[in-house]
Structures are given as C-alpha cells and as structure tokens.
C-alpha cells in the first residue's frame, strides 16, 4: 500500500509541473477541440446553452441512461445539507441540484423541532446561471414541483467568474456539469473561495477522464459516435453535443483539477470517481 | 518531563492511529468492471493536503502533498505549540468542532445534529460536518481518544501515589473505575455510542482504541507478563472492562455504586482465576490424555 502511495505522489508531483499553466491557457481558448479567442468562448458557450435549454433535461436522461439523477443525489448527500443553510448552486440552470438540496432539508430531521422550524425559514438556496434561458426552464420546473413560491429558492442571473454575492456568505457551493464550460477555471475557483464561509464546502460534479483500458474505448466510442447522433435526432442539434463531448476531453484530469482547487486555497481536497471516472465529484473545504 | 514526553508520544500515536486524523488513507481501488450489474462504483477519495498558498508556494506550480502528521514547510520555523499558526489546518478545525459537539451529545445524542450545534458554537459553518468522514463515528472516536488522553495524564501525574501504593488488583480496579467515570455524564446516550462503534465500518478503529486502553491499564499496573500471559492478561482485563461498561448502562444506583461493586467482584475473580489457571491446565491435559486414549481404543476396535 505504501508503494502505491509513493508512486501516486511521485506521479502526481510530475504532473502539475508540466500541466497547469499550459492547461489553463488551453482551456480558456478551447471550444471543444477548436481553438478560439478568449473573448469569443463565453459567447459561443452561451449560444450552445441557449439552444439546448429546452431539451436539456431530456438529453441528460438519454445520454446518461438516467444515471445523472443518481450522480446528483450522490453530490447532495456528500454535501449533507442542514436547515438554515445558505447555499449557492452555480451553473445550476434547470435547478436539479437546488431542488434536491431543498427537498433533503425539508424532509430531514437534523435538529429538534422548534429550532428546525425557525431555521427552515432561514434556508436560502441561490441558483446562479449566466444563461437566462436555462434559468427560465428552471423556474418553470420549480413551479411544477411545487417549490415555486417558496422564499427559499432564489434565481440569480450571474457570471461564475464574477459573483455578486458577499464574501463569507455561503455555507455551501456546488457546480454540477458547469465548470467545463467556463472560460477561466481559476477565476471561478477563486470566486468560490471568496463567497464561502469558514467551514464552507465546495463541491464540483463534472464529467471526467476514464483510464481503464477497455472501458475507455467503449466510452469514447459512445461519446463520439452515439451522443451527437442522439442530439441530432432528439434536439435537432448535432454541433452542441459535439461540443459537449469534446469539452469533456479538453477538461483537466482529476488530479490536475484537484491541485487547481487546492491552489485556490481549499483544504482537504478530494475526488471521488463514479462509473470508473466518467463522472468525478471533487470536494474542498474552506478554513 | 518524562510525563510530557510520554503524553506527546501517545498523542502522536493517537494521531497516527486514529482514523479520524488519518485522511491520507489509500484503499485498493476496486476495478470498475468487477460487478457487472452495479453501474456506479466509486473509487475511494484521493486525499490532497495543502496548507494555504502564502506558506509554501515559492513558485505557483509547486504542490506539496503533506501527510497530516508530517513536518511544516522549510521557510517557516519549526511549528511548536506556543506559536499560533495564522491559519489552522482543517484537522484542527474539525477537532474543535468535535470538542464543542460533546456538550450537545447529552441532549441530541451522537448524531449530526450535535455536530451541527457544535459547529455553530465555534462559529464555523455547519457545512464542515459534511467533510468529516463517518460523522457520528468520528465524534465517538474523538471522545474515546479524549478520555484516553485524560487517563494517561492522570496516571502520569500521579504525584500523590494514588495508584502506586495499591496492590495490582486494586490498581486495575481503580483505573477502570476512573476511566468509566469519564463516561458517566453521557451514560444516557452511551448505548448509542456502543452501537455506532459496533458497526462494520467503525469496528476496526474502536477495536484499536480499546486495545490501547487495555494496554494502558495493564502497563500502569506494572504488568510483567510475557508470552501467552501477555495476551491472556489483556483479554481478561478487556473482558472486565467491557462487562463493567455494559453493566453501567443499566445501573440506577447513586454514583454507580453497584457498578463499582460489580467491578471489584470481577477483578477479584480474575485474580483468583489466575491462581487456579495452572490447575485448570493440568486438568485439561489429563482430560485430553484420557480422551485420546479412549479414542484410540475406539478406532482400534473398528466398526
């Protein structure tokens, strides 16, 4: 076991020396496998999500075989929400993670009753997204789920790289399937660090890298041959889904991303691979 | 000085052994295709420890992967207790939260609710509870370590020879009584703590903690057993401790007088048992010899 630990450490020591600066620069100027200007990237990504907003949830179900629900459940259970929590869900567009957090708090019995009732009124979940179309879809879904008129759910249009929230104001910060699409990852991480309180947690759910030999080939085949075709058939939009699968490949690897999170100041940085690395949940703690 | 040295050494041992603090655990990852019908297999988290930027970043690309128990980075003077570090590590903060949570255990049990209340007390966001692995178990283990530390300190600072003057049997009884009295305030919630310790994921740590405790009892009573006797003595003391602990759960007498009477009885029995152990050994040998000869006779006769 100790040999593996040493090997991991050596291997990981080599990686950051070669990767971070190059990775960050390439992330800011990559749109899938295409090279674009930094200024353009935000625009291009915005166009993608404006187009996919209406079919976003159906496509998620189709592409992941319904697994994305389980992944989001896992994300929320790792967060362990509590009544009276102030939480920020960034790139939370259609609201999946926010709804789960709210439902967990409302159904949980974390404390004795009188205190809990008072605190449940204080619970605030902010859903922040740069794209108004995604927010609108989310608001509609909230209405359907009966969470529409709760004061606890607040929809905010904003940029993850420049949040409008105060320093040290949030107990939790989640970003699910969003960090892949930002232009400057390190700015997003810095902003996350800024808005979190002491003891606050950062959690990131994202499609990530698969290493196991045969499974990797299957996954690549599925990503490049099946997903864009399904996108064409269901949403009439092959290019957006081509962008999606390409952007997954361009995103930094689990260990590199973990070191970026640590660079932003977080402690206890860990990641958990789900489905052999198809999805990874990274977490960090602000002290 | 010897006391401080021993306390520090034991504290370090606790830090290294107690799974609460060892967040650099690496378990062999399960191959993802091993279970055909399970779609989600998770690899255990890869722990990356990093103290804040302004400490150990001579260049932006260097990352230090530090163990929770390793030395601080070179530019800083060696981290001694009296000098406060500007930003505490997450383990320290988690320990502070757990310490504060103990006050709420009597009311809320060994649960996340107690830990959330504890976090609020030390003005840290209750989200930190989510980052503590095996939450309630961490709280129980912290309490066990805390009591163990108190026990060691009491033994080491035994200036008035409270223990040294006693015969071994009384010494062990007193030590066990001392340790169990630390649990007395939490007795209403102690069954919950025991059930948490008995869970499969927690049992290895609780076993280790109890083993250390029993070792301390035996060591403090100047145990000179060797060989098989070493194990024998520890298992007997362990048995006495566990049975007294469980007896205490249902004891309603004032100041747990019945429990201490029970304890004294058990210790007396054990020491009597030691005397008769030789006799039992001879008896067992005799029985064994008799049995094997009759078995030989049986097989010779054939069927």
Mutation target for A interface from B30, B43, B48: give the one with most A CBs within 10 A. Answer: B48
pLDDT computed for residue A174 by the predictor: 95
Interface of B with A in 265-284 (CB under 8 A): none
Q: Based on the domain organization, do B146 and B293 belong to the same domain?
A: yes
For residue B227, is it within any domain?
yes
Q: Based on the domain organization, do B105 and B202 belong to the same domain?
A: no
Last residue of a domain, one of B132, B159, B190: B132
Q: Based on the domain organization, do B147 and B254 belong to the same domain?
A: yes
If pLDDT is split at 50, 70 and 90, which confidence band does A71 have? very high
By Cβ distance, the residue of B26, B31, B130 closest to A5 is: B26
For residue B250, is it within any domain?
yes
A24 contact B CB<8A: no
For residue B33, is it within any domain?
no
Angle at A257 (CA atoms; ends A276, B32), nearest 5 degrees:
5
Q: Hey, what are A15's tokens?
A: 């990686």
Shortest distance, CA B143 to any CA of chain A (angstroms): 21
Q: Are strands A279-285 and A267-274 parallel, antiparallel or unpaired?
A: antiparallel
Arithmetic mean of pLDDT, A233-256: 89
For residue B4, is it within any domain?
no
Q: Based on the domain organization, do B262 and B288 belong to the same domain?
A: yes
What is the total count of domains within chain B? 2
A287 contact B CB<8A: yes
B248 pLDDT more than 70: yes
By Cβ distance, the residue of A21, A201, A254 closest to B127 is: A201
B107 pLDDT more than 70: yes
B63 contact A CB<8A: yes
CA distance B115 to B236: 35
Last residue of a domain, one of B110, B132, B154: B132
Q: For residue B46, give the chain A residue with the closest CA.
A: A270
Cβ–Cβ gap B112/A78 under 8 Å: no
Q: Based on the domain organization, do B149 and B282 belong to the same domain?
A: yes
Q: What is the mean pLDDT of chain B?
A: 75
Which residues of B are less than 8 Å from A189 in CB distance?
none
Q: Nearest CA to A231 among A96, A92, A58, A42?
A: A58
Which residues of A are less than 8 Å from B90 in CB distance?
267-268, 285, 287
Q: Percent of chain A at pLDDT above 70?
A: 86
For residue B272, is it within any domain?
yes
Q: Based on the domain organization, do B126 and B207 belong to the same domain?
A: no
Q: Based on the domain organization, do B172 and B295 belong to the same domain?
A: yes
Shortest distance, CA A246 to any CA of chain B (angstroms): 23
Size of interface A-B (CB pairs under 8 A): 151
Number of Cβ within 10 Å of residue B78's Cβ equals: 8
B53 contact A CB<8A: yes
For residue B230, is it within any domain?
yes
Q: What was the ipTM of the complex prediction? A: 0.81
By Cβ distance, the residue of B39, B45, B65 closest to A271 is: B45
B273 pLDDT more than 90: no
Q: Is A94 annotated as ligand-binding?
A: yes
Interface of B with A in 165-194 (CB under 8 A): none
Q: What is the CATH number of the domain that holds B238?
A: 1.10.357
Q: Hey, what are A220's tokens?
A: 């690549």
Interface of A with B in 199-258 (CB under 8 A): 199-201, 212, 214-215, 254-255, 258
By Cβ distance, the residue of B39, B53, B116 closest to A110 is: B116
pLDDT computed for residue B64 by the predictor: 38
For residue B156, is it within any domain?
yes
B226 contact A CB<8A: no
- Lowest mean pLDDT, pick from B15-24, B68-77, B85-94: B15-24
Shortest distance, CA A46 to any CA of chain B (angstroms): 31
Q: Based on the domain organization, do B127 and B159 belong to the same domain?
A: no
Q: Based on the domain organization, do B238 and B124 belong to the same domain?
A: no
Cβ–Cβ gap B130/A80 under 8 Å: yes
- Lowest mean pLDDT, pick from A84-98, A195-209, B173-187, B211-225: B211-225
Give the 3-state secondary structure of residue A277: helix
By Cβ distance, the residue of B41, B65, B130 closest to A78 is: B130
Last residue of a domain, one of B132, B162, B190: B132
- Lowest mean pLDDT, pick from A34-48, A172-186, B70-84: B70-84
Q: Which DSSP string corresponds to chain B?
A: -HHHHHHHHHHHHHHHH-TTT-TT---PPPPTTSSTT-----PPPPPB----HHHH-SSTT------TTSPPPTTSPP--TTSPPSS--HHHHHHHHHHHHHHHHHHH-SSHHHHHHHHHHTT--TTHHHHSTTHHHHHHHHHHHHHHHHHHHHHHT-TT-TTTTS-HHHHHHHHHHHHHHHHGGGGGGHHHHHHHHHSHHHHHHHHHHHHHHHHHHHHHTT----THHHHHHHHHHHHHHHHHHHHHHT--SGGGHHHHHHHHHHHHHHHHHHHHHHHHHHHHHHHHHHHHHHHHHHHHH--
- Lowest mean pLDDT, pick from A23-37, A80-94, A257-271, B199-213: A23-37
Q: Based on the domain organization, do B145 and B289 belong to the same domain?
A: yes
A216 pLDDT more than 90: yes
Q: Based on the domain organization, do B156 and B295 belong to the same domain?
A: yes
- Where in the sequence is the domain holding B110, given as residue range(s)? 89-132
CA distance B140 to B273: 33
Arithmetic mean of pLDDT, B268-290: 79
For residue B98, is it within any domain?
yes
**B10 or A22, which is more confident?**
A22
Q: Hey, what are B251's tokens?
A: 């004891």
A116 contact B CB<8A: no
Q: For residue A11, give the chain B residue with the closest CA.
A: B65
Which residues of B are less than 8 Å from A269 in CB distance?
47-50
Q: Based on the domain organization, do B227 and B95 belong to the same domain?
A: no
- The overall pTM is greater than 0.95: no
């Amino acid at each position: 076991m100790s040999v593996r630990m040493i090997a991991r450490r050596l291997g990981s020591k080599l990686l950051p020396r070669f990767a971070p600066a190059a990775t960050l620069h390439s992330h800011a100027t990559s749109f899938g496998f295409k090279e674009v200007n930094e200024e353009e990237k935000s625009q291009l990504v915005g166009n993608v999500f404006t187009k996919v907003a209406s079919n976003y949830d159906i496509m998620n179900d189709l592409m992941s075989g319904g697994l994305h629900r389980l992944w989001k459940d896992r994300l929320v259970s790792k967060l362990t929400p509590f009544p009276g929590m102030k939480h920020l869900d960034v790139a939370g567009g259609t609201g999946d993670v926010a709804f789960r957090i709210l439902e967990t708090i409302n159904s949980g019995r974390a404390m004795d009753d009188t205190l809990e009732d008072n605190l449940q009124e204080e619970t605030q979940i902010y859903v922040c997204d740069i794209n108004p179309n995604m927010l609108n879809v989310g608001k509609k879904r909230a209405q359907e789920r009966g969470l529409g008129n709760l004061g606890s759910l607040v929809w905010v249009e904003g940029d993850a790289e420049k949040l409008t929230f105060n320093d040290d104001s949030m107990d939790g910060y989640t970003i699910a399937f969003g960090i892949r699409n930002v232009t400057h990852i390190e700015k997003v991480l810095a902003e996350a660090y800024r808005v979190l309180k002491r003891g606050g947690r950062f959690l990131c759910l994202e499609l990530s890298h698969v290493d196991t030999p045969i499974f990797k080939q299957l996954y690549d085949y599925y990503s490049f041959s099946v997903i864009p075709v399904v996108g064409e058939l269901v949403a009439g939009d092959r290019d957006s889904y081509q962008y999606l699968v390409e952007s997954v490949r361009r995103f930094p690897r689990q260990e590199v991303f973990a070191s970026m999170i640590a660079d932003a100041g977080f402690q206890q940085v860990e990641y958990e691979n789900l489905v052999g690395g198809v999805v990874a949940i990274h977490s960090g703690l602000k002290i | 000085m010897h006391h401080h040295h021993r306390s520090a050494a034991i504290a370090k041992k606790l830090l290294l052994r107690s799974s609460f603090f060892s967040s650099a655990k690496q378990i062999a990852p399960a191959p993802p295709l091993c279970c055909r019908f399970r779609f989600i297999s998770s690899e255990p988290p890869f722990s990356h420890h990093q103290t804040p930027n302004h400490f150990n970043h001579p260049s932006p690309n260097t990352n230090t992967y530090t163990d929770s128990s390793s030395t601080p980075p070179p530019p800083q003077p060696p981290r001694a207790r009296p000098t406060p570090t500007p930003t505490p590590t997450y383990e320290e903060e988690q320990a502070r939260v757990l310490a504060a949570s103990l006050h709420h255990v009597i009311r809320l049990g060994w649960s996340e609710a107690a830990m959330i209340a504890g976090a609020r007390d030390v003005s840290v966001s209750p989200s930190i509870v989510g980052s503590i692995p095996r939450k309630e178990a961490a709280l129980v283990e912290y309490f066990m370590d805390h009591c163990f530390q108190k026990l060691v300190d009491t033994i080491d600072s035994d200036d008035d020879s409270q223990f040294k003057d006693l015969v071994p049997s009384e010494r062990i009884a007193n030590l066990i009584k001392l340790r169990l009295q630390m649990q007395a305030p939490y007795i209403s919630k102690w069954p919950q703590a025991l059930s948490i310790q008995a869970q499969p994921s927690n049992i290895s740590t609780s076993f280790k903690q109890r083993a250390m405790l029993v070792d301390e009892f035996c060591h403090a009573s100047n145990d000179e057993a060797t060989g098989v006797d070493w194990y024998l003595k520890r298992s007997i003391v362990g048995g006495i401790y566990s049975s007294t602990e469980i007896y205490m759960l249902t004891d309603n007498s004032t100041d747990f007088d019945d429990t201490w009477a029970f304890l004294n009885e058990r210790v007396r029995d054990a020491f009597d048992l030691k005397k008769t152990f030789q006799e039992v050994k001879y008896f067992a040998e005799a029985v064994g010899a008799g049995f094997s000869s009759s078995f030989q006779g049986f097989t010779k006769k054939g069927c």
